[in-house]
Amino acid sequence: MYSINVKGYIPKQKSKEFKQHMKQLVSQQSEETIEFSVLQDMIIEDLYQVKVSFSDKRRMFSFMKSENYATISGSFRVLGILKEKFMLEYSSLSGEE
């Protein structure tokens, strides 16, 4: 499994707008995604993480060229501060895929 994680800071006065953008994206998630989640840190309340998971690398790279991915990154840049973007590859500990 593969995932894209995007983290950033959204100030309290912009959080409602950010959450609305993300809610719209989650409701439009494509069949290519396994999971699409938006997480808010409980201690640092203006820190958010958007995680999108895929079954294969090809789908992940395709998503990274999409308007939805641009919207995620752009929302952090316009409404707050984009902290980091990274990709992860998961493998099964039991050897089963």
> Are 85 and 3 contacting, i.e. CB atoms less than 8 angstroms apart?
no
pTM exceeds 0.85 for this model: yes
Tens of pLDDT, residue by residue, the chain (97 residues): 999 999 999 999 999 999 999 999 888 877 788 999 999 999 999 999 999 999 999 999 999 999 999 999 999 999 999 999 999 988 765 555 5
In the block, which residue shows the tokens 């980091």?
84
Token pair of 44 as six digits: 């640092």
